[in-house]
Amino acid sequence: MYTSHRVDNDTIRVPRGIEPDRYRDLSTDVWALADRDGRYLMRIYGEVLRRRSRPVLSHLSAARLWGLPILGPWPHAVHVCGGRNHVQSSTEEIVWHRDYLSDTDITEVGGLLTTSRLRTMLDLALTQPFRSAVISLDAALQERFVLPGGVVLPPVRKERLLERVSALGADPRAGRAREAASFADGRSSSSGQSLSRATMRVSRLPLPALQAVYQHSTGEDRVDFRWEPRFHIRRHTVLGEFDCEVRRDADPGRLSRLAGPGRVLTQWRWADALHPARLGAVLAAAGLRVES
């Protein structure tokens, strides 16, 4: 539920639980200036603060606490796990999940109870669309995992996630979870790279090797994706980069080195990675062919 407050002649609807007269550190001004990411986090805190007992945040709300990205905007509702015997119904403000949680499935992040990183990964694999799940799982599998506050945590190994998926048994969602968990790769270093990989998968495009490295006289050049010559119409090695909107370094010779003899370099942006037809067109223009 929301309460209304006036800020600079505008009416701002603030989630109940974080009204400025109750929590000065979560003021109406902060809400008005926050982006979607920040507002969802405030909705999470607001939902927790107005409850007598400490709920266990789960699914997309747990993903937000862990700093795991998703595809698209955060939802409106806060996700909470109440256990198998929970009787409350979900509303527009809160989604109740009735999954069983073991003691090891529950931890604390930012002063809030939430599902563990591994359990959150499992829940996302079970419930989210393939491409969004891959984006979240790739981030969760990073060798150097950093919480939003800057705390570095030990990595979660992919084998542990696959074990949890295997333990689902006859759960009808197991196939969906297995597909996302099997495809996830912690070497993907950005949401854009993860989205690109997932779009290639759903488009049935040839899948590349990740984080290819090319040595040169003064160091090395690293590139997001590399396809073997057998995937190119002229038998060239194809190199691909997602984040061409951002200049990677001040080395003006990097791109020319990567696009050396026998290699083709192509680049794309978020809008291309988001739409399968556009990404397919970019790769086709570079000479990549669909694997037969």
Whether residues 81 and 177 fall in one domain = yes
Q: How confident is the model at residue 15 (pLDDT cuts 50, 70, 90)?
A: low
What does pTM read for this prediction? 0.88
Residue where one domain finishes, among candidates 124, 155, 186: 186
**What's the total number of domains in the chain?**
2
Whether residues 182 and 39 fall in one domain = yes
The predicted pLDDT at position 254 comes to 85
Q: Each residue of 96-139: pLDDT tens digit? A: 998 999 999 999 999 999 999 999 999 999 999 999 999 999 99
Q: Each residue of 160-188: pLDDT tens digit? A: 999 999 999 889 999 999 999 999 999 99
- Quick one: CA torsion of 110, 115, 119, 120, rounded to 10 degrees? -60
The predicted pLDDT at position 25 comes to 47
The predicted pLDDT at position 199 comes to 98
Whether residues 180 and 206 fall in one domain = no
Query: Is 279 inside any structural domain?
Result: yes
The predicted pLDDT at position 216 comes to 87
Q: Each residue of 18-63: pLDDT tens digit? A: 544 444 445 567 777 889 999 999 999 989 988 888 999 999 999 9
Cα–Cα distance, 259 to 208 (Å, whole number): 17
Residue where one domain finishes, among candidates 186, 215, 245: 186
Query: Is 156 inside any structural domain?
Result: yes
Q: Is the pLDDT of residue 273 over 80?
A: yes
Query: Is 3 inside any structural domain?
Result: no
Q: Each residue of 176-226: pLDDT tens digit? A: 999 999 999 999 999 999 999 999 999 999 999 999 999 888 889 899 999
φ, ψ (nearest 5 deg) of residue 211: 55, 55
Whether residues 165 and 107 fall in one domain = yes
Among 13-22, 28-37, 267-276, the minimum mean pLDDT is found in 13-22
For 168, residues 6+ apart whose C-beta sits below 8 A from its C-beta are: 126, 174, 177
Q: Is the pLDDT of residue 4 over 80?
A: no
The predicted pLDDT at position 248 comes to 58
The predicted pLDDT at position 185 comes to 98
Query: Is 23 inside any structural domain?
Result: no
Whether residues 63 and 168 fall in one domain = yes
Query: Is 104 inside any structural domain?
Result: yes
Whether residues 256 and 281 fall in one domain = yes
Range of 150's domain? 34-186
Residue where one domain finishes, among candidates 142, 158, 186: 186
Query: Is 205 inside any structural domain?
Result: yes
Whether residues 86 and 202 fall in one domain = no
Q: How confident is the model at residue 2 (pLDDT cuts 50, 70, 90)?
A: very low
Q: Each residue of 55-92: pLDDT tens digit? A: 999 999 999 999 999 999 999 999 999 866 666 787 88
Whether residues 124 and 82 fall in one domain = yes
Which structure tokens are listed for 142? 């990073």
Query: Is 211 inside any structural domain?
Result: yes
Query: Is 25 inside any structural domain?
Result: no
